[in-house]
Amino acid sequence: MRAGEEFSDEVLISHIVAGERELYRILIERHQQKIYSLGISFFKNSDDAADFTQEVFMKAYTALSGFQGRSRFSTWLYRIAYNTGINSLHRRQEFASLANEQDDQTGCFDPPAPDNVEQELLRKQAKEAVKKAMQELPERFRICLELYFFYDRSYEEIAVITGFPLNTVKSHIFRAKQLLKDNLSDSMEGGLP
């Protein structure tokens, strides 16, 4: 098989499982930046995020023959990444907000550079207010909201990734939006940080 970049993830997987293991690098190249960004969200530093990315792709490779195609490969891979991240954090006995400063390459919360210093200050204050409000959300709400907004996952994909029932995901996202709105309103009334 040549020019594997032209084939879907699922076609590549069938070739990899059939013995063309070198094609796995194409899947890695397609998905490593998003998995790395998720690692930054979990661990807040590039070294741990890089280790996390490598661990996720090793686990996915080991389990690749079990991929049944009931969801997109990216959803299946996110499920592995999510579980790996959560398990790592529980082993470390810490959980930091997924909404903290993202890797510069993800662009989350980074609007175009302002024209003046006052706009820059306001942008930084607004960014800090959003980060603080996100940190105050219950973990289950925060995870669902971040997967929805920052990683463009559908409700169905979030249900697969987190293991929450679909209606629970919808409820968590709705509730997280409400709490975030309330938290931001409170910080605006009391003045930005």
Judgement on whether residues 116 and 191 belong to the same structural domain of the protein: yes
Q: What is the mean pLDDT of residues 51-60?
A: 93
Last residue of a domain, one of 96, 121, 147: 96
Judgement on whether residues 74 and 17 belong to the same structural domain of the protein: yes
Q: What is the mean pLDDT of residues 147-170?
A: 87
Structure tokens at 146: 């971040």
CB 48 within 8 A of CB 61: no
Confidence category of residue 143, pLDDT binned at 50, 70, 90: confident
pLDDT per residue as tens digits for the range 64-86: 988 888 888 999 999 999 889 88
Which residues are CB-contacts of 74 (< 8 A; sequence separation ≥ 6)? 9, 31, 34
Instruction: Supply the range of the domain harboring residue 74.
Output: 1-96
The domain that contains 86 carries what CATH number? Answer: 1.10.1740.10
**pLDDT at residue 105, as a whole number:** 41
Residue 190 has, within 13 A of its CA and on its CB side, a CA count of 8
Q: What is the mean pLDDT of residues 143-171?
A: 87
Which residues are CB-contacts of 192 (< 8 A; sequence separation ≥ 6)? 125, 126, 128, 129
The rounded percent of the chain whose pLDDT value lies above 90 is: 31
- What is the distance between the alpha carbons of residues 12 and 117, in angstroms, rounded to a whole number? 49
Res 14 pLDDT > 50: yes
pLDDT per residue as tens digits for the range 40-51: 887 778 888 999
End-to-end CA, the chain: 56
Q: What is the mean pLDDT of residues 83-93?
A: 74
Last residue of a domain, one of 96, 131, 155: 96
Q: What is the mean pLDDT of residues 56-66?
A: 92
Q: Could you tell me if residue 90 is inside a domain?
A: yes
CB 110 within 8 A of CB 164: no
